[in-house]
Amino acid sequence: MNNQPILNKYWSSVCRHIDPYVPGEQPKGTKLIKLNTNESPYPPSPRVLEAIRNAASEDLRRYPDPFSDELRKAAADYYGIGLKQIFVGNGSDEILAFCYLAFFNPGERILFPDITYSFYPVYSKLFGIPYKEVALTRDFYVPIREFMTDNHGIIIPNPNAPTGRFLDTDSLLTMVNYNLDCGKVIIVDEAYIDFGGDSLISFINRFPNLLIVHTLSKSRSLAGLRIGLAFGSEGLIEGLFRIKNSFNSYPLDRLAIAGAAEAFRDREYFEETRGKIIRTREWIEKELAKIGFIVIPSKANFLFVAHKNVSAADISSKLREREIYVRHFKKPRIDNYLRISVGSDEEMEFLLKNLREILGAYKG
Amino acid sequence: MNNQPILNKYWSSVCRHIDPYVPGEQPKGTKLIKLNTNESPYPPSPRVLEAIRNAASEDLRRYPDPFSDELRKAAADYYGIGLKQIFVGNGSDEILAFCYLAFFNPGERILFPDITYSFYPVYSKLFGIPYKEVALTRDFYVPIREFMTDNHGIIIPNPNAPTGRFLDTDSLLTMVNYNLDCGKVIIVDEAYIDFGGDSLISFINRFPNLLIVHTLSKSRSLAGLRIGLAFGSEGLIEGLFRIKNSFNSYPLDRLAIAGAAEAFRDREYFEETRGKIIRTREWIEKELAKIGFIVIPSKANFLFVAHKNVSAADISSKLREREIYVRHFKKPRIDNYLRISVGSDEEMEFLLKNLREILGAYKG
């Protein structure tokens, strides 16, 4: 719909000038292998589905709890923190948008990496927050020292997307501590933290400027339910509630609250499925290296890879002919890389078989 | 949580200065009669609940359709308009927030009534859009001529809330037509239109500046599912999509899309339940008049009433002692009025019985 925007005289100045985010394709079809949007190959917990079915009752005629207390309590229990240290939203994207309104000021420049989640610059344009993109190193490391400089806010995803690289806790905390006195908020977007990285949640009591953002879309297999969470000091959380309550009283519906709360209660299923994804990733990393891919070490549920001989654009389009979808970002510095979601072992076997065939044709 | 906001050094300027919306109380309890948030007394259509249960499947691991095509198609069929003339959001509140970003400019003054949905000034403060509140007449009529003046956008709810008064189509269209050439958008918030008013949806082809906003929270008994819709010219709808795609790719989850689409397909249930609410309203209007209430004629699923002898504050607090919740707005001009949602006949009988007892004590 947005390929050729018609300039419309009724649009606001912001609406004319923004450059909307384009999510990964959601092709319709049952046979295809979809490794382009980092969804889980495993279904949600059966207990989550049951909780949702139970919530599909006549109570739907009632508004939901505007504070989503059931969900916030379940998450508080899971992480061992206080109810007032948790905010929930309609996906982590909505929470990130609220963060721009709650913590950043128009005209005051924030920092985030140059290669990262491509929604960050979109929010900046929507809300008039200037930004500086801090260049990753050649090997796609976040240069943490360059965030220890004059700024009015920082967003760092950890693990980073689309690279998958994880930044150690000590480096991050040194940076958070450096920025403590300037009164600006550091947002650590931990969308992919459950796949082997260490969360900073346990440090929110020590750093009142630290906000951690999570999602249930990846490690809890609930992309279709739209649940994000934020963890931070009571002041930061209250700031997010002030914005939410000035935007939409009830961003989470009754079904989402019930299902997401149950997702936190079913620890066993969560541990089992994320463990499988980590093991598949560790195996497929080696297999991809064997057939000539450079693989950036990943702590996420995807791999960021480049082939030594064949271009990412070629591989991507040939995979698509075989109904295998991976993500190719046509952006400077990363246009020869592919981001491949970690699917089930069967999906990965099928991917490898097809990659071998595609690459074999180039040798001949 | 927001009663005594702590000023926090990490909050943005906007976050410090906004005055968040306070939704009607959501008391927990099974016995109470809840007539304070205009929910439907009837459950959602059984077909809707079944559609939701079917959608509670392993597909929840996948992102939803970012364009919610299934729902938009069902609504397009229902209203006989084009797919590109429909936008859907996480409740009509989210759509209204998007409208401020899509169609209004900071520093350019918009108009809305002084007695109306109290979220409008909240959005204005959140997004820096100045506004003028146009005073309703003494009898709570919207003075339509006063919207035919220099402005940069208009919002009028029809029927108005919390008064319930309906503005005739000719008056509204005269105003929309007057404003056609100035290139500004007129938003008609028809949250309560299904209870006897005439919608302006059929005029969106004629007026490219006219945007109609609906919700499934009231007449479709789905307050707990969070579904709003907007109808307008393709240009206006594309503007809303541009903002949505710069804010949150997927505001509607898979369950909400499935349930809401089915709500539009089940016409019979909709006609039956809204018909019952209209009949109950017409009956209770007369009964309330008999016991000394001034009743503003309503085309909504609520009544706006003042008693000739006893203050609204007194009646409200005495009803609450009896576990009956109605809405009392402590605001100038309307602080002697109560907004009472139209419940089931049984709930209304119980209300009347209690009102007679409460008012009887004042006579004695």
- Which of A59, A94, A255 lies nearest to residue B248, judging by beta carbons? A94
Q: Which tens digit of pLDDT belongs to each residue from A198-237? A: 999 999 999 999 999 999 999 999 999 999 999 999 999 9
Sheet (strand B293-296) strand order: B293-296, B302-307, B338-341
Q: Are A62 and A89 within one domain?
A: yes
Which range marks the domain in which residue A131 is found?
46-265
Could you state, in chain order, the average pLDDT of each consecutive group of 10 residues for chain B (364 residues)? 62 94 80 93 98 98 97 98 98 98 97 97 97 97 96 97 97 95 93 98 97 98 98 97 97 98 98 98 98 98 97 97 95 95 97 97 76
- Phi first, then psi: what are they for B154, rounded to 5°? -140, 140
Residues in chain B: 364
DSSP A16-62: HH-----PPP----SS-EEESS---SSPPPHHHHHHHHHHSSGGGGS
Q: Is residue B2 part of a domain?
A: no
Give the pLDDT confidence score for residue A308 in this predicted structure.
96
Among residues A265, A281, A307, the one where a domain terminates is A265
From chain B, the residues in CB contact with A10 under 8 A are 103, 183-185, 208-209, 235-236, 239
Quick one: pLDDT band at residue A364, thresholds 50, 70, 90? Answer: low
Using DSSP, state whether B245 is helix, strand or coil: coil
Distance in Å, alpha carbon of B287 to nearest chain A alpha carbon: 26
Q: How many CB atoms lie within 10 A of CB B130?
A: 14
Give the pLDDT confidence score for residue A3 in this predicted structure.
45
Q: Are A240 and A278 within one domain?
A: no
- The C-alpha torsion from A210 through B21 and B197 to B151, rounded to 10°, is -90
Q: Are B275 and B205 within one domain?
A: no
Residue B88 φ/ψ region, left for φ over 0, alpha for ψ in the -120 to 50 degree band, beta for the rest: beta
Q: Contact B103/A223, CB-based, under 8 Å?
A: no
Q: Are B18 and A243 in contact (CB under 8 A)?
A: yes
Q: Are B248 and A94 in contact (CB under 8 A)?
A: yes
- Which of B23, B238, B256 lies nearest to residue A6, judging by beta carbons? B238
Among the listed residues B338, B326, B348, the one whose alpha carbon sits nearest the alpha carbon of residue B38:
B326
Copy the structure tokens of residue A339. Answer: 């981001």
Using DSSP, state whether B265 is helix, strand or coil: helix
Q: Are A119 and A65 within one domain?
A: yes
Using DSSP, state whether B347 is helix, strand or coil: helix
Q: Contact B21/A249, CB-based, under 8 Å?
A: yes
Q: Are A236 and A169 within one domain?
A: yes
Q: Are A174 and A293 within one domain?
A: no
Q: Are B149 and B254 within one domain?
A: yes
From chain B, the residues in CB contact with A64 under 8 A are 223-224, 226
Q: Are B194 and B205 in contact (CB under 8 A)?
A: no
Q: Are A322 and A300 within one domain?
A: yes
Q: Is residue B8 part of a domain?
A: no
Looking at residue B183, its amino acid is G
From chain B, the residues in CB contact with A90 under 8 A are 90, 248, 251
How many domains are contained in chain A? Answer: 2
Q: Are B222 and B194 within one domain?
A: yes
Q: How many CB atoms lie within 10 A of CB A278?
A: 17
Closest A-chain CA to B121: A246
Looking at residue A186, its amino acid is I
Residue range A151-159: mean pLDDT, rounded: 97
Tell me the percentage of chain A whose pLDDT exceeds 70. 98
Q: Are B78 and B186 within one domain?
A: yes
Q: Which among B25, B152, B250, B327 is the top mutation candidate for probing chain A, defined by the most A β-carbons within 10 Å of its own β-carbon?
A: B250
Q: Contact B253/A255, CB-based, under 8 Å?
A: yes
Q: How far apart are CA A265 and CA B76, in angstroms?
A: 40
Q: Are A259 and A274 within one domain?
A: no
Q: Contact B239/A97, CB-based, under 8 Å?
A: no
Among residues B266, B283, B300, the one where a domain terminates is B266
Q: Are B18 and B119 in contact (CB under 8 A)?
A: no
Q: Contact A248/B65, CB-based, under 8 Å?
A: no
Q: Is residue B285 part of a domain?
A: yes
Q: Contact B241/A10, CB-based, under 8 Å?
A: no
Q: How many CB atoms lie within 10 A of CB B118?
A: 15
Residue range A270-292: mean pLDDT, rounded: 98
From chain A, the residues in CB contact with B129 under 8 A are none
Distance in Å, alpha carbon of A288 to nearest chain B alpha carbon: 25
Residue B252 sits in a domain whose CATH number is 3.40.640.10
- Phi first, then psi: what are they for A44, rounded to 5°? -65, 165
Q: How far apart are CA B94 and CA B88, in angstroms?
A: 9
Distance in Å, alpha carbon of A222 to nearest chain B alpha carbon: 5
Q: Is residue B179 part of a domain?
A: yes
Quick one: pLDDT band at residue A362, thresholds 50, 70, 90? Answer: confident
Instruction: Give Cα separations from B361 to B314, B328, B351 (angstroms).
Output: 12, 21, 16
Q: Is residue A280 part of a domain?
A: yes
Among the listed residues B159, B156, B143, the one whose alpha carbon sits nearest the alpha carbon of residue B198:
B159
Give the pLDDT confidence score for residue A259 in this predicted structure.
98
From chain A, the residues in CB contact with B153 under 8 A are none
Q: Is residue B119 part of a domain?
A: yes
Q: How far apart are CA B190 and CA A340, in angstroms?
A: 45
Instruction: Give Cα separations from B305 to B162, B200, B328, B347 (angstroms).
Output: 10, 27, 10, 17
Buried b (16+ CB within 10 A) or exposed e, A210-243: bbbbbbbbbbbbbbbbbbbbbbbbbbbbbbbbbb
Using DSSP, state whether B111 is helix, strand or coil: strand
Q: Which tens digit of pLDDT belongs to each residue from A183-208? A: 899 999 999 999 999 999 999 999 99
- Which of A19, A63, A224 lies nearest to residue B63, judging by beta carbons? A224
Closest A-chain CA to B2: A242
From chain B, the residues in CB contact with A222 under 8 A are 60-61
Count interface pairs A-B at CB distance under 8 A.
306
Instruction: Give Cα separations from B303 to A133, B276, B298 (angstroms).
Output: 55, 15, 6
Among the listed residues B297, B307, B317, the one whose alpha carbon sits nearest the alpha carbon of residue B160:
B297
Give the pLDDT confidence score for residue B242 in this predicted structure.
97
Helix (H) or strand (E) holding A148: none
Q: Contact B90/A248, CB-based, under 8 Å?
A: yes
The angle at the Cα of A344, spanning A342 to A345, to the nearest 5 degrees, equals 105
Q: Contact A37/B63, CB-based, under 8 Å?
A: yes
Q: Are B298 and B200 within one domain?
A: no
- Which of B10, B123, B225 lies nearest to residue A183, judging by beta carbons? B10
From chain B, the residues in CB contact with A123 under 8 A are 246-247
Residue A339 sits in a domain whose CATH number is 3.90.1150.10
Among residues B266, B296, B324, the one where a domain terminates is B266
Which are the contacts of B318, defined by CB distance < 8 A and separation ≥ 6?
Answer: B358
Among the listed residues B79, B105, B75, the one whose alpha carbon sits nearest the alpha carbon of residue B87:
B75
Q: Is residue B6 part of a domain?
A: no
DSSP A55-116: HSSGGGGSPPPTT-HHHHHHHHHHHT--GGGEEEESHHHHHHHHHHHHH--TT--EEEESSS
Q: Contact A53/B57, CB-based, under 8 Å?
A: no
The tally of CA atoms less than 13 A away on the side-chain side of residue B87 is 31
Q: Which tens digit of pLDDT belongs to each residue from A7-59? A: 789 999 999 999 999 887 888 777 789 999 999 999 999 999 999 999 999 99
Q: Is A244 exposed, middle or buried (CB count within 10 Å of its CB: 0-12, 13-18, 19+)?
A: buried
Q: Is B22 exposed, middle or buried (CB count within 10 Å of its CB: 0-12, 13-18, 19+)?
A: middle
Give the pLDDT confidence score for residue A321 in this predicted structure.
95
From chain A, the residues in CB contact with B254 under 8 A are 224-225
Distance in Å, alpha carbon of B267 to nearest chain A alpha carbon: 17
Q: Contact A248/B97, CB-based, under 8 Å?
A: yes
Give the pLDDT confidence score for residue B2 in this predicted structure.
44
Q: Which tens digit of pLDDT belongs to each residue from A93-138? A: 999 999 999 999 999 999 999 999 999 999 999 999 999 999 999 9
Q: How far apart are CA A68 and CA B253, in angstroms?
A: 16
Q: Is residue B255 part of a domain?
A: yes
Q: Are B134 and B147 in contact (CB under 8 A)?
A: yes
